[in-house]
Amino acid sequence: MEKPPSPTLMENASIRANLEDLPIAEVSWLESKLKPKTVHARYPFKGKPLLWMTCAFGSLGDALFGYDQGIVAGLLVNPVFLSRFFSEYGGADGTSENIDPSITGILVACLQVSAALGSLIAGSLGDMIGRKRCVRLGGFIYFAAAFIQAFAPGFNTFVAGRTLQGLGVGFLSMTVPVIQTEIAAPHRRGLMVGVEYTFLIGGYALSTWVDFGFYYLIPKSESWQGPYFIQMGLAFILFSISFILPETPRWLARNGFAKECLQTVADLHTPDGNTQAEHVQQVMLEIKEAVCYEASLKQSTWREMFTRYRKRTIVGITAQMFAQLNGINVISFYLPTTLAKAGMSQEKSLLYTAANSIPYVSATILTWWLADRWGRRPLLILGGILMAIALCIVCAFTEAHIHNASTRAHGIYAFVVIYNAIYGFTWGPIPWLLPAEVFPLRARSKGMALATCSNWLFNFAIGMSAPDAFDGIGGYYYVIIAGFSLISVGIAYFYYVETAGHTLEEIALAFGDKARTRDNGNHGLANGVSFTGGALNHPSKHHGSMVVKGSQIVHVGAETDNAVRPAKRDATVTDVVDLQKRIAVPSFIDAHVHILFSGHSLLKLDLEDCKSLIKIRDVISYYAKEHSALPGAGNLNTGNYKARIYKSGASHVLHGL
């Protein structure tokens, strides 16, 4: 068969026309009041600058809570801060030696409890008001809380401000990974979330150097207030930028802003905002079929997260759980205190903590490439093993009878640096990426909320238990954390799925989601999985399925049924199989194709050069022109792909053709 000409744009602007038919998700009374009525584009540029600016905007939200984690660690060795806020709890002399560990735990961990609550609230609110507005609200809360802490007169007010700040942190930590995941192309999703995590650790690194710099203002109050003034400035920048950047296309499509969705995709992925560009049309096809299918399932519920989406929820919760149980915040919160107790001066412990942030941030940059090239699971497995080894060595230096205090302190520090570097490109960024990828659009906010809530709850548990644990068993606490690291290796190996390089819609299929075509309440399924539907798979008409070997469609229709369906399977089920899993079989496999192809075999339909559904469409159109005797070929090659009503009464919208 002669190669078809280069693919052209869709005749009759079929996607643009069909955008009018996109279903709008059902909303509650509260959601109808909160959801914006209009969406305006205010950004001053398009293409890659807009894409990366949006990525940086979200990442700044991560930098804020990374900054908050580091700022407290430095303040816990600041004598002015300790004497001001811990004077009633044993810290009147400006040291932490006599402070009850539980009080320190409350100061550190109060933010984690409210952050868990904030992430759950954002899970619902993000669906109502949009991802961008959720970040804006989080930035505003963060600013107000930083102001309260900077001018707090005592311990109780400071804890209240830090607790309020946790709500803002919860909003940001839940929403930012969703933004990055929903705007990124499949082959760059790991890169974008890697950049996000680099910002997070960059925020932590900034706070350690800020703490070290302001330490020289002791005994002035600015020595501990200064870091909060900088925190307020960062929050104000985040809040301001939120007014000029776009909402995510998937949220726009799901909430009735179809034209705005198409234009936003074009603005993010083309330099001139060309809505007819092939890549833009391809992205819109995927978004459209996801929205059509998920609208048929109605609004997601929290209960569904533990029934329909149970496996994904387990992946999301455990990924974030082990991100904390693997010990990073034991290191981050208490490293200056640990080094001071090991024999370093307070000034030197702050300097070493700040220096530790340099290789930590540098290691996160590896994720920009490795997450998409190596995959998510290999990084988690490698990281868990190496971190366990490093933590055991930290324990050895802590508990060994080393008479030279400097040797002990430097030994601990060296392997803490190694541990942080390993964590920085493995269990640091991947648990933020994985949950945002595995949940479908309709459940993404709630799923990410549960995962983030898990992070903060276990962060709280670590923050509360670590002071007492170190006080009770000393360095052997590191061995317990090493044990958690090894358990996380087993979970990642046996339970997690690989998501690198796949579209969000393909990942949904890996979890057994059904395809986006609707038929009398039954839902089709494409790309290597079974699907059911009354009109499509009537027991007397086994037509409409497809088998792909390598890059060729080798069977369509009745012959396919006999070739691929196991005998024990129900007679009304048809399989769609890609034997090499190399080409994503498009979801145009619905009643339309069944009518057109009924039982015919396309033995020489070459899809070798097809990299998108649009190219596949053109190849099939060309084939139809060459085989005009094929029933329905006239419709197949004219671009007339609008929804039609068949004898079954079911309405079908062709998503791939």
pTM: 0.66
326 and 261 in one domain?
Answer: no
531-564 residue pLDDT tens: 222 222 333 333 334 444 333 444 444 333 343 3
Position 622 scores a pLDDT of 64
Position 543 scores a pLDDT of 35
The answer to whether the CB of 178 falls within 8 A of the CB of 130 is no
Q: pLDDT tier at 188 (50, 70, 90 boundaries)?
A: confident
What is the distance between the alpha carbons of residues 165 and 169, in angstroms, rounded to a whole number?
A: 6
Q: Is 2 exposed, middle or buried (0-12, 13-18, 19+ CB in 10 A)?
A: exposed
Tokens of 199: 């910002």
Q: What is the CATH number of the domain that holds 429?
A: 1.20.1250.20
387-421 residue pLDDT tens: 999 999 999 988 887 777 788 888 888 999 999 99
What is the distance between the alpha carbons of residues 10 and 14, in angstroms, rounded to a whole number?
A: 6
Q: pLDDT tier at 599 (50, 70, 90 boundaries)?
A: very low
Residue 7 is assigned to a structural domain of this protein? no
Element (H, E) at 522: strand 522-523
Boundary of a domain, candidates 448, 475, 505: 505
For 215-277, where are the alpha helices, taking DSSP H only?
Answer: 222-241, 249-254, 258-269
280-319 residue pLDDT tens: 887 787 777 667 766 666 667 888 888 888 888 999 999 9
User: Hey, which of 155-159, 305-309, 510-514 has the most confident mean pLDDT?
Assistant: 155-159
Position 254 scores a pLDDT of 82
135 and 76 in one domain?
Answer: yes
Sign of CA dihedral 378, 384, 386, 387: positive
What is the distance between the alpha carbons of residues 532 and 572, in angstroms, rounded to a whole number?
A: 7
264 and 133 in one domain?
Answer: no
Least confident range from 131-135, 254-258, 290-294, 471-475: namely: 290-294
183 and 80 in one domain?
Answer: yes
How far the first Cα of the chain sits from its last, in Å, is: 21
49 and 24 in one domain?
Answer: no
How far, CA to CA in Å, does 632 sit from each of 12, 316, 388, 533, 594?
19, 46, 62, 21, 10
Residue 3 is assigned to a structural domain of this protein? no
**3-state class of 644 per DSSP?**
strand
386 and 256 in one domain?
Answer: no
Residue 402 is assigned to a structural domain of this protein? yes
The H helix count followed by the E strand count for the chain is 25, 10
**3-state class of 655 per DSSP?**
coil
Q: Estimate the share of the chain in helix, then strand, then coil, as percent rounded to the nearest 5.
A: 65, 5, 30
606 forms beta bridges with 552
pLDDT for 5 beyond 80: no
pLDDT for 212 beyond 90: no
- Chain centre to alpha carbon of residue 157: 34
276 and 167 in one domain?
Answer: no
523 and 460 in one domain?
Answer: no
379 and 259 in one domain?
Answer: no
What is the distance between the alpha carbons of residues 25 and 74, in angstroms, rounded to a whole number?
A: 47
253 and 380 in one domain?
Answer: no
Position 236 scores a pLDDT of 94
535 and 409 in one domain?
Answer: no
In the block, residue with structure tokens 């919208």 = 653
Tokens of 1: 């068969």
How far, CA to CA in Å, does 361 sit from each of 57, 140, 272?
18, 27, 35
Closest among 268, 244, 239 to 60, alpha carbons compared:
239
490/536: higher pLDDT: 490
Domain that holds residue 619: 519-652
The conformational region for residue 544 under phi > 0 = left, psi -120 to 50 = alpha, else beta, is left
DSSP state string for 73-142: HHHTT-HHHHHHHSGGGT-TTS-STTS-HHHHHHHHHHHHHHHHHHHHHHHHHHHHH-HHHHHHHHHHHH
553 forms beta bridges with 548, 605
Strands 605-606 and 552-556: antiparallel
Position 216 scores a pLDDT of 85
What is the distance between the alpha carbons of residues 524 and 579, in angstroms, rounded to a whole number?
A: 19
Residue 551 is assigned to a structural domain of this protein? yes
Q: How many CB atoms lie within 10 A of CB 533?
A: 28
Please report, as a single letter, which amino acid is at residue 232.
M
pLDDT for 583 beyond 90: no
Strands 518-519 and 546-549: unpaired
Residue 120 is assigned to a structural domain of this protein? yes
Q: pLDDT tier at 642 (50, 70, 90 boundaries)?
A: very low
Residue 136 is assigned to a structural domain of this protein? yes
How many domains would you assign to the chain? 3
The answer to whether the CB of 78 falls within 8 A of the CB of 99 is no
Position 42 scores a pLDDT of 75
Q: Is cis: bond before 219, omega within 30 of 0?
A: yes
Residue 4 is assigned to a structural domain of this protein? no
What is the distance between the alpha carbons of residues 300 and 479, in angstroms, rounded to a whole number?
A: 41
The answer to whether the CB of 639 falls within 8 A of the CB of 11 is yes
How far, CA to CA in Å, does 488 sit from each of 31, 323, 382, 483, 581?
38, 9, 11, 9, 29
Q: pLDDT tier at 25 (50, 70, 90 boundaries)?
A: low
596 and 558 in one domain?
Answer: yes
Residue 353 is assigned to a structural domain of this protein? yes
CA dihedral 197, 202, 208, 210 (to 10 degrees): -140
The answer to whether the CB of 399 falls within 8 A of the CB of 338 is no
